[in-house]
Amino acid sequence: MSTDTSTAGNSITSDDVLQLVGFQLGNEEFGIEITSIQEINRMPFITRVPNSPYHVKGVMNLRGKTVPVMDLRIRLSMDNKPFTDDTRIIVVKMETEVIGFIVDSVTEVIRLSKSNMISCVQLIPSLLIRSERLKESF
């Protein structure tokens, strides 16, 4: 089901709009499709898992379910930074898995026209991280 809206004489349907939740890591802003996000939380207690990769901070208890938590700063080879009051965990649904990503802050919901977007595969193929590779990190 799509809803028509008009802006400056252009007819845009909701099917043509991609909604992203914006978040920051350092001075960079990123986005995750809103339909992939289960929830956004303040930093909870994280239990460290022995022998896990460095970017995996551990696991958290999310209403009785154990959710792995990854620090995106470390995973993307950015400088490590202490957590602040703005630090959040974005809990993302990836196929059958649920993963928490630690980010510096969550900014806003961003609405973009799909027709104005270029696939990141076309822009930077070497940065494409498939969900299979992320799963291997845990």
Cα–Cα distance for residue pair 78/29, rounded to 1 Å? 13
CATH number, domain with residue 111 = 2.40.50.180
**The amino acid at 96:** T
Percent with pLDDT over 90 in the chain: 45
Q: What is the pTM of this model?
A: 0.73
Cα–Cα distance for residue pair 62/64, rounded to 1 Å? 5
Burial 77-98 (b: 16+ CB within 10 A, else e): eeeeeeeeeebbbbbbeeeeeb
With a cut of 80, say whether residue 66 has pLDDT above it. yes
Query: Considering the domain boundaries, does residue 5 fall inside one?
Result: no
pLDDT digits (tens, 9 = 90+) for 6-18: 455 555 566 788 8
The domain tally of the chain equals 1
pLDDT digits (tens, 9 = 90+) for 93-114: 988 889 999 999 999 998 888 7
Residue 23's pLDDT is what? 93
Query: Considering the domain boundaries, does residue 85 fall inside one?
Result: yes
CB neighbour list of residue 125: distance below 8 Å, 6 or more residues apart: none
The dihedral built from the CA positions of residue 62, 64, 68 and 69, taken in this order, carries a sign that is positive
pLDDT digits (tens, 9 = 90+) for 1-54: 444 444 555 555 667 888 889 999 999 998 888 989 999 999 999 999 999 888
Query: Considering the domain boundaries, does residue 9 fall inside one?
Result: no
Q: Which domain holds residue 132?
A: 17-136
